[in-house]
Amino acid sequence: MSAPERFERIGATRIVADPGALDGIEAPDGGHLLRLAPDDLLVLPPPDRVDVADPYALVEPEAGFSAAWFDRSELPRLQALSAWEFPRRRPAPAQGHLAGIPVKMLFDVGGVLVLVPATLAHHLEERLGSQDRLE
């Protein structure tokens, strides 16, 4: 596998709200919705404006994730580092551990976008072989 691109911190919008209110939110053009939990939604990239039908919704800029794109050809290598089997349908969201690090993944026809907590991105980079050094 070629060395993955360095994970970079990305911008997003995080919404925690009544699940019914999240159901009505649509993805921005060219963007993605990643439902992390019934009451927790990540919107990529951050939309200019988002309306949530919940007066108590927490709508916050999200700066806690780093992300990198992996081409379809690199999926077998990633799969070999995962104890759970990647979904076969496309597009598909997923979340679990990759090389022991918690990740969220957005599978598309051409590959997968891997999101990792920015605080742990260096570990994932290391474990995916992009850096040859010991901590």
Partner 1 sequence: MIDFDGTPVPFEEGDTVLTAVLRAGLWPWSGCLCAEGDCPYCLVTLEGTSYVRACRTPASDGAKVHSHPTDGYPALPPPTRTPTPGSAVGFEMIHCDTVVIGQGRSGRAAAAEAGERGRRVVTLDARVGREAVGVYAGPEVVARIPDGMARIFCEEVVVATGSAEVQPVCPGNQLAGILTRRAAARLAAAGVDLGRVVSIGAPPEGVEHQPARGRLARFVGDGTVERVVTLDEETGAERTYPCDTAVVGLGSGPRDTLARMAHGLPGVRAVGSAAGSLDRPPVPEAGVVCPCSEVTVDDLRSVWDRGFQELELIKRSTLAGTGACQGAVCMPHVRSFVAAGGQELPPSFTARPVVTQITMGEAAAGWYHHADRRTALHDEHLAMGAVMERSRGWWRPWTYGDADREYWAVRSGVSICDVSTLGKTLVSGPDADAFLERIYPSTIAPIRPGRAKYVLVLDERGYVFDDGLVCREAANRFLLTSTSAGAGHFEMWLRDWADAWGMDVRILDRTTSWGAINVTGPRSGELLSRLGDGGRLPSFMGHTRMEVAGFACRVMRMSFTGEISYELHHPASRSEGLWRALMESGADFDVWPHGLEVLEELRLEKGHILVGVDSLSDSTPRRLGHGWAVRMDKGDFLGRHAVARTSRMDPDRLLVGLEMDGAPPPQGAILRVKGDYAGFVTSSTWSRVLGRSVMLAWMYARDGGFGGDILIEGRPARRVAAPFYDPEGLRVRA
Classify 125 in phi/psi space as left (phi over 0), alpha (psi -120 to 50) or beta. alpha
80 binds partner 1 (CB under 8 A): yes
Contact present, 44 and 31 (Cβ < 8 Å): yes
97 DSSP β-pair partners: 102
Min. distance of Cβ 61 from partner 1 in angstroms? 6
Spatial CA neighbour of 7 closest among 77, 67, 62, 97: 67
Pick the stretch among 24-32, 57-65, 67-75, 107-115 that binds partner 1 (CB under 8 A). Answer: 57-65
Pick the stretch among 27-35, 67-75, 93-101, 106-114 that binds partner 1 (CB under 8 A). Answer: 93-101
Min. distance of Cβ 73 from partner 1 in angstroms? 17
For residues 125 and 135, what is the distance between their CA atoms, to the nearest angstrom? 12
35 DSSP β-pair partners: 41
Binding site for partner 1 (CB under 8 A): 9, 11, 14, 16-18, 39-40, 54, 56-58, 60-64, 79-85, 99-101, 117-120, 122-123, 127, 132, 134-135
